[in-house]
């Protein structure tokens, strides 16, 4: 496989302390991933609560992650916006900071047409030299990047190198792989669909649960990429309960609560994200116990 992005990428949480980004903890988390087999880090995505970050915080966080990674992991910076001009500004900054790529989400709220989506992603991709991953997540943005639009982008803009596919549809993912070819990276945006996607020719995952189980997530992905399907399947079923529990409430609430229970970060959010309900927190704790993450 020659796709530029493959393997296990973590959709990094943004740790806060007293209302501010905890830069020391960010560096600690990057080090954890560097030592546990994660292939790449995606800061400032959905799991990183990017809509609550100011532009200065957004840019600083990307810089901190790149500095901490020291070239050991690929940093694909979340740089999307519902304003094309803002997405270009954020993506240019990420390129200057040394990111390996930019993850650009569908423009949200605007509800652009398919032609508008094409023009948006093309404008962002042509503004930088680094490769771009489209982040297709209709549940958060109200629009779906249709396969024909993605195929058009891949044909016309060589730096559109892949897609984080969070449609939840293996049918759509199959269409994308068939239309865009084996060198176009198709990464799962849903942990519970990573193994099925790999089985039909996908390239990896941008994972939520890798925040807390990085080694097992990476091992599952690489077992599948290496053709060891029994090992990959065993790991899939080991990780599956946590993949489901990670969405007991809106992401990233459950994963940050889980990390807090494991002593990894403070259980701090920015509104409108908030603490998990007591009932769901106990359900989450029960799921975590078999992983020896909590007592």
Cα–Cα dist 173/187, whole Å = 9
Q: Which of 59, 74, 118, 164 is flagged as catalytic?
A: 164
- Which residues is 185 bridged to in the sheet? 162
Q: Which of 59, 74, 118, 135 is flagged as catalytic?
A: 135
Cα–Cα distances in angstroms (integers) from residue 15 to residues 21, 47, 82, 203, 267, in the given order: 6, 11, 24, 28, 8
Residues in the chain: 295
Cα–Cα dist 154/175, whole Å = 14
Yes or no: say if 46 and 81 are a contact pair by the CB < 8 Å rule: no
Q: What is the helix (H) or strand (E) element at residue 195, kind and residue range?
A: helix 194-199
Backbone angles phi, psi at 41, to 5 degrees: -125, 135
| Half-sphere exposure in the Cβ direction for 78 (13 Å, CA) | 31
DSSP helix/strand/coil, 122: helix
Active-site annotation holds for 135: yes
Active-site annotation holds for 164: yes
Positions marked catalytic = 135, 164
């Amino acid at each position: 496989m020659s796709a530029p992005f493959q393997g296990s990428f973590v959709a990094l949480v943004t740790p806060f302390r007293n209302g501010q980004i905890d830069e020391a903890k960010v560096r600690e988390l990057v080090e954890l991933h560097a030592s546990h087999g994660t292939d790449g880090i995606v800061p400032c995505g959905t799991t990183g609560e990017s809509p609550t970050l100011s532009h200065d915080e957004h840019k600083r966080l990307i810089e901190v992650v790149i500095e901490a990674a020291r070239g050991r992991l690929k940093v694909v910076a979340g740089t999307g916006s519902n304003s094309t001009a803002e997405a270009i500004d954020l993506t240019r900054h990420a390129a200057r900071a040394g990111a390996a790529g930019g993850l650009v989400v569908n423009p949200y709220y605007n509800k652009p047409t398919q032609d508008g989506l094409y023009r948006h992603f093309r404008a962002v991709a042509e503004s930088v030299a680094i490769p771009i991953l489209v982040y297709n997540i209709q549940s958060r943005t109200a629009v779906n990047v249709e396969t024909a639009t993605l195929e058009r982008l891949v044909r016309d803009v060589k730096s559109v190198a892949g897609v984080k596919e969070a449609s939840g549809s293996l049918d759509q993912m199959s269409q994308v792989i068939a239309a865009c070819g084996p060198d176009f990276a198709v990464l799962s945006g849903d942990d519970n669909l990573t193994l099925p996607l790999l089985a039909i020719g996908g390239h990896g995952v941008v994972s939520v649960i890798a925040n807390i189980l990085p080694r097992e997530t990476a091992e599952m992905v690489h077992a599948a990429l290496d053709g060891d399907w029994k090992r990959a399947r065993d790991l899939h079923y080991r990780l599956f309960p946590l993949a489901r529990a990670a969405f007991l409430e809106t992401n990233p609430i459950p994963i940050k609560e889980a990390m807090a229970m494991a002593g990894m970060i403070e259980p701090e959010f920015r509104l409108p994200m908030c603490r998990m309900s007591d009932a769901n927190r106990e359900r989450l704790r029960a799921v975590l116990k078999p992983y020896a993450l909590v007592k």
